[in-house]
Structure 1
Amino acid sequence: MPEIWFEDVAGYEFYVTSNDGGHGVHFHIKRNNSYRLARFVLTADGDVVVDSTTLDAKTTRKIQLYIRRNWNGFVQAWRSFFGNCHFDK
């Protein structure tokens, strides 16, 4: 399954897979060979919800804030990969 990679924050990388297109806009987090460390869901009102995480609270908040500050860029990246977008929340 093809994946698209984005920039990293503190060594954590954002990604989606081709299977994610049927879901609302969201991004998974990986570090090195550890996948699906967290899942962040973007909402239509510009917020970011932590859907699941195995990361510590400080790292989770840091990544969540980064996504929130760059919300438009993440939505554009989703659209570029999938050609459309919708929000589940």
Structure 2
Amino acid sequence: MTEKFIIKGYEISFNVHDGDHGVHVHVSQGRDRDMAKFVLGADGDVVLAHNRGKIPPKILKKIRNDLARRHAFIVSAWDRTFGDHHFDR
């Protein structure tokens, strides 16, 4: 795992093996890994890719909004980990 932070009790992170993909984050809680995935866009947008953990929509919205506010921080953390970034959307 790389840098991570917590939003509404959910751990937000990306995996060291994610570098071949565009900038995205995984949402986990406790032992439940990859409950949801958000993909970041070059325009600052954040889109839900999946919600396998059935996180309630109200919580997902709060997480998405917080990720959008932290867009630059996440891209910077991605660059520190992988050396460069690209966006798939």
Shared fold by TM > 0.5? yes
Residue 27 of structure 2 corresponds to 29
Residue 2 of structure 2 corresponds to 4
Amino acid at match of 1:21: G
CA deviation profile, 1:9-40 (whole Å, cap 9, x unmatched): 11101111121100000000111111001000
Residue 41 of structure 2 corresponds to 43
1:87 matched to 2:87? The reply is: yes
Q: Residue 39 of structure 1 contacts residue 50 of structure 1 at CA under 8 Å; is this kept in 2?
A: yes
Output aligned runs, 1:43-82, within 5 Å.
43-53=41-51, 54-82=54-82
CA deviation profile, 1:45-80 (whole Å, cap 9, x unmatched): 010000001211001100000000111001101111
Richer in strand (by share) = 1
Q: Percent identity?
A: 37
Q: Secondary structure at the match of 1:29?
A: strand
TM-score (normalizing by structure 2): 0.93
Q: Secondary structure at the match of 1:21?
A: coil
Gaps of 5+ in 1: none
Q: Secondary structure at the match of 1:4?
A: coil
1:18 matched to 2:16? The reply is: yes
The CA RMSD over aligned residues, in Å, is 0.8
Q: Distance in 1 between matches of 2:7 and 2:15?
A: 19
Q: Secondary structure at the match of 1:18?
A: coil
Richer in helix (by share) = 1
Amino acid at match of 1:70: R
Following TM superposition, the consecutive aligned residue runs of length 4 or more in structure 1 with deviations greater than 6 angstroms are none
